[in-house]
Amino acid sequence: WGNPADDAETYARLKGYSPYDNVPPAVEGEDAFPWLYVTAGLHDARGGFWEPAKWVARLREKKTDEHTLLLRTNMGVGHFGSSGRSGRLRELAQSYAFALDKLGVTVGAGR
């Protein structure tokens, strides 16, 4: 990828689609951020765990709404998440549980 600091055009192109550098300022009541469930893996060789952590921190600085912004870092996985059937299903269940909670779906004995 080279060093974009040495080439202004390349730097501008990369910065143009950088999620971290392009978080818009939220205006209360207008541009509220959606609920977000952000995941990271501690051993991700393709993108360090600090990248989603920095992005979530930037979002939290700029958000004005009360929507949930959750960062979950799995301390035992890499880029593609848990391996094995049960690990993958556990991660999928956690993301579904987040979505269902935000949609107001309740599940339990008192259905």
pLDDT digits over 50-108, tens only? 888 999 999 999 888 888 999 998 866 666 566 667 878 888 888 999 999 999 998 77
The dihedral through the CA atoms of 10, 11, 12, 15 has a sign that is positive
pLDDT band at 14 (very low <50, low <70, confident <90, very high): confident
pLDDT at 26 exceeding the cut of 80? no
Its pTM stands at 0.74
β-strands 36-41, 69-74 pairing? parallel
Which parts of the chain are beta strand (E)? 36-41, 69-74
pLDDT band at 110 (very low <50, low <70, confident <90, very high): low
Tokens of 99: 């979505």
Residue pair 20/55 in contact (Cβ under 8 Å)? The answer is yes
